[in-house]
C-alpha cells in the first residue's frame, strides 16, 4: 500500500511580514502618518544633536532663526527656494509620464549656458528688457534640446532614460568647464573663470528678491493647469499609466514623450537662466549646485503636485539655510548638519511608503483600505 503524499504546509511558506499596496487610505490616516514622521524626524535629529553635545531645542530654534529670523535671511531663503521649485516642476512633468528624468542638473546647466552667451557677448546690442527676454528664450531652447536628446532615443529605441539623462549631466558639465577654461575665460583673471554679468543682464528685484520668484509661482500655476485641465496633461498621465493603453486610445506615444521632455528640459533651462541672471551673475560649474537632484525630493514629497511644491521647496530651503546657520552658531561640522537635514528628509520621504503600502504580519488578514 502506497503512503499518502504529504500535504504542503502553506503556513510555512507564508513570510512573517509581507508588503501589500493599499487600495485606499483616508485623509485622516495619511495626515497621522505624516505627523508621526515629522515627530520621529525631529526626535531622531535631536538624538544626533545631543550626541554632538548641544541642546536640540536651541539648535532647532536657531535653524528657524537662520532661515526666517530677519528680512535679510528670509529673502535669502526665498532665493534658495526659487530654483528648487522651478526644477521640481520640470522633473514632475517627466515623472508624471514615468520618464525618470535624472538629468535636470544638465538641463539647468544647458539653459544657463544659453543665457550666459547673450549676457556675455550681446549685452551691448540690445536694451535691458529685450536682453533678458532673449536670455530666457535661449535658456528655454538650450534646456529643451538637452531634454529632447534622451526623449528621442527613448521614443525611437526605448533606451534607459535614467542612465541616459544622468550621463548627460556630466556632458553638460564638461562643456561648461571647456568654456570656462577656454573661449569664455575672463582674460583679466589669473584663474579659469567667466566674467561677471553687467547690470543689463541681471534680473530686477521685487520685494528684495529677483523676480524669478514670481516666474516660479506662475510656472507652478501653469504646470498645475497643464497637468490637470489640458488634453496634453491627460495624455501625459495616460502614457505614464500604460503606453499600451495610450496606443490603443490612438495616442502618439513617441510624440507625447518628446513633447513632454522638451517642456521639462525647457523649464529646467529657465531655472538655469534665473540662477545666472538673478543669483550668481555669472556661469560656473556650480551653477546647478545639486538643485536638479534635490528637486526630485521636492517633486516626490509633493506627490507631483506643482502647487504643493511651492510649500515643500520653501520648507527645504528653510532646512538648507538653517543647517548653514548652526554650523556657525554651534560649530557643528558641515557633514553633521547635512546628516541632520538628511535624517529629516528620510523620514518625510519614508512616510510616503506607509501611505501607499502596508505591512501585513503572518496570520493577519489584509484590510482593503486605510
Contact 215, 209 (CB under 8 A): no
Rounded Cα distance, 281 and 73, in Å: 19
Nearest Cα to Cα of residue 349 among 294, 267, 285: 294
Provide the pLDDT for residue 28: 84
Rounded Cα distance, 278 and 276, in Å: 6
Contact 370, 67 (CB under 8 A): no
Provide the pLDDT for residue 19: 78
Identify any residues that bridge with 205 across adjacent strands, giving them in sequence order: 210
Cα dist from 162 to 155, 169, 241, 333, whole Å: 14, 11, 18, 33
Q: DSSP letter at 330?
A: S
What value does the CA radius of gyration of the chain take, rounded to a whole number of Å? 24
Provide the pLDDT for residue 26: 80
Rounded Cα distance, 90 and 111, in Å: 13
Alpha helices, DSSP H, located in the chain: 10-13, 27-51, 56-68, 71-96, 104-121, 128-157, 161-181, 212-229, 231-241, 243-248, 253-274, 291-301, 306-329, 334-356
Identify any residues that bridge with 210 across adjacent strands, giving them in sequence order: 205
One-letter-per-residue 3-state SS of 248-304: HCCCCHHHHHHHHHHHHHHHHHHHHHHHHHHHHCCCCCCCCCCHHHHHHHHHHHCCC
Provide the pLDDT for residue 13: 67
Which residue ranges in the chain fall short of pLDDT 70? 1-14, 16, 362-370
Cα dist from 367 to 24, 211, 325, 357, 362, whole Å: 10, 50, 46, 11, 14
Count of CA atoms in the C-beta half-sphere (13 A) of 290: 4
Provide the pLDDT for residue 65: 92
Helix (H, G, I), strand (E, B) or coil at 361: strand
Rounded Cα distance, 184 and 134, in Å: 19
Nearest Cα to Cα of residue 107 among 154, 164, 146: 146
Nearest Cα to Cα of residue 79 among 222, 268, 263, 291: 291
Contact 67, 325 (CB under 8 A): yes
N- to C-terminal Cα distance for the chain? 53
Please report, for the chain, the start and end positions of each structural domain, with discontinuous segments joined by +.
83-307
Amino acid at each position: 500500500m502506497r503512503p499518502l503524499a504529504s500535504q504542503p504546509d502553506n503556513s510555512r511558506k507564508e513570510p512573517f511580514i509581507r508588503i501589500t499596496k493599499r487600495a485606499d487610505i483616508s485623509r485622516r490616516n495619511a495626515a497621522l502618518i505624516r505627523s508621526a514622521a515629522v515627530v520621529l524626524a525631529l526626535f531622531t535629529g535631536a538624538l544626533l544633536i545631543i550626541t554632538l553635545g548641544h541642546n536640540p531645542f536651541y539648535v532647532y530654534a536657531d535653524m528657524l532663526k537662520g532661515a526666517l529670523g530677519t528680512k535679510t535671511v528670509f529673502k535669502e531663503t526665498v532665493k534658495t527656494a526659487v530654483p528648487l521649485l522651478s526644477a521640481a516642476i520640470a522633473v514632475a512633468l517627466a515623472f508624471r509620464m514615468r520618464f525618470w528624468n535624472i538629468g535636470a542638473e544638465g538641463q539647468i546647466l544647458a539653459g544657463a549656458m544659453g543665457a550666459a552667451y547673450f549676457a556675455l557677448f550681446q549685452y551691448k546690442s540690445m536694451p535691458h528688457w529685450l536682453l533678458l527676454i532673449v536670455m530666457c528664450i535661449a535658456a528655454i531652447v538650450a534646456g529643451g534640446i538637452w531634454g529632447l536628446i534622451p526623449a528621442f532615443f527613448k521614443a525611437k529605441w526605448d533606451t534607459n532614460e535614467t542612465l541616459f539623462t544622468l550621463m548627460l549631466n556630466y556632458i553638460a558639465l564638461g562643456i561648461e568647464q571647456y568654456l570656462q577654461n577656454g573661449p569664455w575665460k575672463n582674460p583679466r583673471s589669473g584663474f579659469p573663470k567667466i566674467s561677471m554679468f553687467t547690470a543689463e543682464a541681471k534680473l530686477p528685484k521685487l520685494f528684495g528678491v529677483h523676480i524669478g520668484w514670481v516666474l516660479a509661482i506662475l510656472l507652478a500655476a501653469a504646470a498645475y493647469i497643464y497637468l490637470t485641465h489640458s488634453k496634453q496633461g491627460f495624455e501625459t498621465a495616460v502614457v505614464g499609466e500604460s503606453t499600451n493603453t495610450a496606443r490603443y486610445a490612438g495616442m502618439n506615444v513617441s510624440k507625447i514623450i518628446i513633447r513632454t521632455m522638451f517642456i521639462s528640459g525647457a523649464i529646467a533651462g529657465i531655472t538655469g537662466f534665473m540662477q545666472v541672471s538673478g543669483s550668481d551673475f555669472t556661469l560656473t560649474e556650480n551653477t546647478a549646485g545639486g538643485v536638479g537632484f534635490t528637486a526630485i525630493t521636492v517633486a516626490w514629497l509633493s506627490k507631483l503636485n506643482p502647487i504643493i511644491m511651492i510649500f515643500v521647496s520653501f520648507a527645504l530651503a528653510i532646512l538648507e539655510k538653517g543647517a548653514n546657520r548652526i554650523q556657525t552658531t554651534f560649530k557643528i561640522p558641515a557633514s553633521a548638519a547635512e546628516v541632520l537635514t538628511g535624517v529629516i528628509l528620510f523620514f518625510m520621504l519614508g512616510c510616503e511608503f506607509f501611505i501607499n503600502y502596508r505591512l501585513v504580519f503572518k496570520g493577519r488578514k489584509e484590510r482593503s483600505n486605510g
